[in-house]
Structure 1
Amino acid sequence: MTGDLMQLARVHGPGDVRLDDVPIPQPGAGEAIVRVAACGICGSDLGFIAQGGMGGGEPLAEPLPIGHEFAGEVVAVGPGVEGVAPGLRVAVNPDDGYIGGGGPEGAMAPYIRITGAKVGETLFPLADHVDYAEAALAEPLSVGLHALRILDVQAHHKVAVLGAGPIGLCTVAMLRHLGCRDIAIFDRVESRLERARALGAGLAVNVAEESLPDALARYHGEGVRFGTRFAETDMFIDCAGSEAAFKDVIAIAKYRARIAIVALYKKPAAVDLWKMMANEILVTGSIAVDRKAEFAEALTMVAKGEQDLSPLISHHMDFARFNEALDLAANSDLSAKVMLTFPETAA
């Protein structure tokens, strides 16, 4: 493959994403080359494209490669790589090297260089029966699981998920994996709420039809503290990034409720600090950049087939239809997770 070119999706500026012709990577010391078989389109990918970069406001010094939810086959290894050989089927944890998130490599391409190629850290071998597209779900599933681990969610907890996009849906799947049953989820898109029900949410509410506080009080139970109603919800996972929804959560949260913010807020949000103080509400962020254990656990869940994860993936689209796939992924009424697929000998 030396000297051959491939197409790599890179962001050049706001709204400007291109499939650039770049050399097919070659492995150096400690590196492996993976032929990408499937790569999911993440909301952060769409955000990078819209913003023209990582969101810090600075113009790009060079084009930004995207794509971080992926699986494929090792095709070459460099010196010093142990326990990895061509032909190994893997899912890749993108944290090391910030793959598709500010680093020099992106997985929306037929091949990708993996630095620090090591089993159990960057490379996670796949059982023969695991489909590449399902394996690529290990990344968003581990994002949800990371937030749940930060909050120490247990099976008996009553949990609310804000937003039924791909991360919200993956969070529902991981809540079921942890044994939770009292799961409520909120969105405005009925097709996504249907997917949440299929994944095991006990209550899926369109907030255009019923408010979050009313629905939670009805589903999880309610009480009164300091003259104000609260819901008996233990944990909230914010995958929506809506200031209005977050205000509803703070308004209805009970004493010592816990909240994890997974969503990407695009501007500062007002918070009722008196409510947080008076009810000792714990709010934490969750960015999932150090989650090797969660990645492995999510992939093990996928391999065991303990849940039907088919509702998570709405479309499989060939990389040749890249722009069409992006448009589809941006349409919440039509899609959940859009999975790019690659032919075995793409370049």
Structure 2
Amino acid sequence: MKSVLVTGPGRTAVVEVEKPVCGPSDVLVRIRACGICGSDGLYIAVGGIPPRQGATPLGHEPAGEIAEVGAEVEGLSVGDHVVLNPMASGDGIIGSGGAQGGLSEFVLLRDARVGVHLVTVPKHIPFEVAALNEPMAVAGHAVNRTAPKPGDKVVVFGAGPVGLGAAIAYELRGAHVVVVDIVANRLEKALRVGAHAVINSAEEDVLQRLVEIHGEAPRSFVRGVRPDTDIYLDAAGAPVVLETALAAAKHGATVGVVAVHKKPVPVDFGALLTTELTLVLSMGYPTEIFEVTRDLVEHWQRYELLISDRIPHADVRRALELGSTPGAAEKVVVTLG
């Protein structure tokens, strides 16, 4: 079968590898779609992930259909459409240092269990949409970390896939959602997926606009006018985002960070003391990988709007270049078969 590997710093190749053999407790999945993540570009740039430096299979956002089911496996049938948990594979994280990658024609799930390694999705859901399950789990964990309540006022910085996924999740939980970005078409998409308002931070004063949209927070011992915003989520990773959120946060607000910051960000905790804010960080999806699947299935047309480019596996190198170049595309999904 064909598989996409990092072969060295800045180098990838589509190579022929042995198709996995399905044992009695295993499930063999034919991959039909796999999303491209910004971290794929990082893996390529550094030449892979030890211990497979220079030979790292890529692709950790896969969806597909079952090609073979071991005799001991219960609850699954050949032809079922499924999404996978890349973290649960016994031979390492799929596409992130493990022995297998989702940009391969097949992935073998050893000792496969429904709800642990994979779950089925209805066959009317496009495979490209199902492949959003993993990044939406990242977004879902970030939302969970900030503990929203119905009626909360939320602002999400960054209208990339994770930011928009979080915006959808907040809206489905009954929050009022504002999305901030500097790219007009991303802000238009934010409104289409359910954001109640958007702010172009390249053209507008974010704090002033938040006061206009969410109202002014009740005066307290926190100095200055503050928007009555309950939750700030950084899904952008730019230092100015945290500076803005921390400067705007009212007493008792929550500031969440799901974005990867590549450089240290200085924080004046003395100035923040009176806000008594809650700062939470979010990484991965400890429980959310299949929790988000229900929302993805129920609202799949909304999630489908996140996809900007569908690229066939034969052109996977272009997909990787697009998906790992900031601003070149929004969400790239590779299709197979």
TM-score higher than 0.5: yes
Alignment deviations for residues 144-183 of structure 1 (CA, whole Å, 9 cap, x no partner): 1111112211221111111111111111121222222x21
The structural deviation recorded for 1:218 is 2.1
- 1:70 corresponds to which residue? 62
User: Which secondary structure state, in structure 1, belongs to the residue aligned with residue 290 of structure 2?
Assistant: helix
Rounded to whole Å, the distance in 1 between the matches of 2:111 and 2:246 is 42
2:219 maps to 1:210:
no
How far, CA to CA, are the matches of 1:14 and 1:207 in structure 2?
A: 35
Mapped partners of 1:326, 1:121: distance in 2: 28
Q: 1:238 to 1:320 in 2, by over 3 A?
A: same
- The code of the aligned residue for 1:261 comes to V
1:328 is aligned, of 300, 322, 327, to 322
The CA RMSD measured in Å over matched residues stands at: 2.1
CA distance in 2, matches of 1:329, 1:248: 28
When residues 80 and 248 of structure 1 are mapped into structure 2, their CA distance, relative to the original with a 3 A threshold, is: same
Deviations 1:73-113 (A, max 9, x none): 11123464322232221111212132112222210111112
The aligned runs of 1:243-322 (5 Å cut-off) are 243-291=239-287, 294-305=288-299, 308-322=302-316
SS, match of residue 255 in structure 1: coil
- Asked if 1:85 corresponds to 2:77, the answer is yes
Q: Deviations over 1:28-87 (max 9, x none)?
A: 453321100011111222232234345xxx795452222111210111234643222322
- Inter-partner Cα distance in structure 2 for 1:137 and 1:60: 26
| Residue equivalent to 1:191 | 185
CA contact (8 A) 1:251 1:275 kept: no
- Is 1:39–1:339's contact at 8 Å kept on the other side of the alignment? yes
- The Cα offsets for residues 256-290 of structure 1, whole Å up to 9 and x where unpaired, read as 21122111112222112123332112112111242
Closer, same or farther in 2 for the Cα pair 1:226/1:290, shift >3 Å? closer
Task: Show the 5 A alignment for 1:43-58.
Answer: 43-53=38-48
Q: 1:271 to 1:342 in 2, by over 3 A?
A: same
Q: Is the 8 A contact 1:30 1:79 kept in 2?
A: yes
The offset of 1:250, in angstroms, is: 0.8
Decide whether the 8 Å contact of 1:31 with 1:77 is kept in 2. Answer: yes
**Residue aligning to 1:15:** 10
Q: Which residue of 1 aligns with 2:162?
A: 167
DSSP 3-state at the match of 1:268? coil
Shift of the alpha carbon at 1:334? Answer: 5.0
Unaligned runs of 5+ residues in structure 1 are 1-5
User: For the residues of structure 1 that align with 2:247 and 2:237, how far apart are their CA atoms?
Assistant: 16
Classify the secondary structure of the residue corresponding to 2:170. helix
Q: Structure 1 residues 99, 226: closer, same or farther in 2, change over 3 A? A: same
Q: 1:105 to 1:210 in 2, by over 3 A?
A: same
Residue 185 of structure 1 aligns to a residue in which SS? strand
Q: 1-side partners of 2:47 and 2:215: how far apart?
A: 44
| Change in CA separation of 1:171 and 1:27 when aligned onto 2, cut-off 3 Å | same
Return the alpha-carbon distance in structure 1 between the equivalents of residues 251 and 110 of structure 2.
46
1:129-140 aligned at under 5 Å gives the runs 129-140=124-135
1:222-271 deviation digits (Å, cap 9, x = unpaired): 24543233221111121111111111111111112112211111222211
Partners of 1:131 and 1:172 lie apart in 2 by: 22
The answer to whether the 8 Å contact 2:47/2:54 transfers is no
- Residues 229-248 of structure 1: pairs in structure 2 closer than 5 A: 229-248=225-244
SS at match of 1:317: strand
Structure 1 contact 250–272 (Cα < 8 Å) conserved = no
TM-score, normalised by the number of residues in structure 1? 0.88
Cα distance, 1:108–1:205 mapped onto 2, change above 3 Å:
same
Instruction: Determine the C-alpha separation between the residues in 1 that align with 2:48 and 2:240.
Output: 27
Q: Percent identity between the aligned chains?
A: 34
> 2:243 is matched by which residue type in structure 1?
K
Q: Contact (CA 8 Å) 1:160, 1:185: kept in 2 or not?
A: yes
Q: Which residue of 2 aligns with 1:95?
A: 87
Return the alpha-carbon distance in structure 2 between the equivalents of residues 122 and 160 of structure 1. Answer: 33
* C-alpha spacing 1:50/1:217, structure 2 compared with 1 (3 Å): farther
C-alpha change, 1:255 and 1:115, in structure 2 (3 Å) is farther
SS in 2 for 1:308: helix
On the 8 A contact 2:37/2:324 being kept in 1, the answer is no
Aligned to 2:260, what secondary structure does the other structure show? coil
